[in-house]
Amino acid sequence: MDPRIREHAEIIATHSVDLQEGDNVVVDAHPVAEDLVVALHEVIGDRGANPLTTSQRTGKRGLRAFLRAADGEFETPSHELALIEETDVYIAIRASDNVTQTADVDPEVSAAYQQAHHPILEERLSKRWCLTQFPAPANAQLAEMSTEGYENFVWDAVNKEWDAQRELQANMVEILDPAEEVRIVSGETTDVTMSVAGNPTLNDYGERNLPGGEVFTAPVPDSVEGEVLFDMPLYHQGREVTDVSLEFEDGEVIAHSAGKNEEVLTEVLDTDEGARRLGELGIGMNRDIDRFTYNMLFDEKMGDTVHMAVGRAYDDTVGEDNERNDSAVHVDMIVDMSEDSFIEVDGERVQEDGTFVFEESED
Give me the residues that bind a second copy (CB under 8 A), please: 22, 24, 26, 31, 34, 37-46, 48, 50-56, 59, 61-63, 65-71, 73-75, 77-87
* Shortest distance (Å) from residue 53 CB to a second copy: 5
Q: 61 vs 208, which CB is nearer to a second copy?
A: 61
* Shortest distance (Å) from residue 130 CB to a second copy: 17
* Shortest distance (Å) from residue 102 CB to a second copy: 12
* Calpha distance 228→194 (Å, rounded): 12
Single-letter amino acid code for the residue at 244? V
Nearest to 334 by CA among 193, 204, 199, 186: 186
Residue 324 three-state SS: coil
Q: 105 vs 140, which CB is nearer to a second copy?
A: 105
* Shortest distance (Å) from residue 56 CB to a second copy: 6
Q: 79 vs 320, which CB is nearer to a second copy?
A: 79
Helix extents (H) in the chain: 3-11, 34-47, 60-69, 78-85, 107-116, 118-125, 137-142, 147-158, 162-176, 262-269, 296-299, 357-360
Q: 70 vs 296, which CB is nearer to a second copy?
A: 70
* Shortest distance (Å) from residue 105 CB to a second copy: 11
Residues near 133 by Cβ (< 8 Å), separated by ≥ 6? 93, 94, 95, 139, 154, 158, 210, 211, 295, 297, 298
* Shortest distance (Å) from residue 132 CB to a second copy: 17
CA–CA distances in Å: residue 148 to residues 246, 261, 344? 37, 32, 39
DSSP state of 144: T
* Calpha distance 135→274 (Å, rounded): 35
Nearest to 134 by CA among 117, 113, 158: 158
Q: 42 vs 222, which CB is nearer to a second copy?
A: 42
* Shortest distance (Å) from residue 29 CB to a second copy: 9
Q: 78 vs 126, which CB is nearer to a second copy?
A: 78
Burial class (CB in 10 A: 0-12, 13-18, 19+), 246: buried
Q: 32 vs 142, which CB is nearer to a second copy?
A: 32
* Calpha distance 262→259 (Å, rounded): 7
Q: 44 vs 194, which CB is nearer to a second copy?
A: 44
* Calpha distance 36→183 (Å, rounded): 42
* Shortest distance (Å) from residue 143 CB to a second copy: 24
